[in-house]
């Protein structure tokens, strides 16, 4: 179950955080923009789906 500590992108326009290493959107975040924590943002829908499926 690749659930990980919350992380988010600081890129302008990003509105969610991620917490699943299988999330393609989360995986596409460039290192330059990658920051730990939720950033006060809601969870990414893709991550929520993966988490709910236990993936
Ligand atoms: Zn995500």
pLDDT of residue 39: 96
Residues with Cβ within 5 Å of ion ligand 1? 18, 23, 25-26, 44, 46-47
CA 49 to centroid of ligand 1, rounded, Å: 9
Task: Tally Cβ neighbours within 10 Å of residue 54.
Answer: 7
pLDDT of residue 1: 56
Range of the domain at 10: 3-52
Number of structural domains found in the chain: 1
pLDDT of residue 2: 86
**Stretches in the chain below the pLDDT threshold 50:** none
Task: Tally Cβ neighbours within 10 Å of residue 26.
Answer: 23
Do 18 and 6 touch, CB atoms closer than 8 A?
A: yes
pLDDT of residue 53: 95
């Amino acid at each position: 179950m690749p659930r990980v500590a919350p992380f988010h992108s600081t890129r302008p326009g990003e509105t969610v955080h991620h917490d699943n290493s299988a999330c393609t959107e989360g995986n596409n975040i460039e290192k330059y923009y990658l920051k730990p924590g939720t950033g006060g943002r809601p969870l990414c829908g893709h991550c929520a789906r993966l988490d709910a499926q236990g993936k």
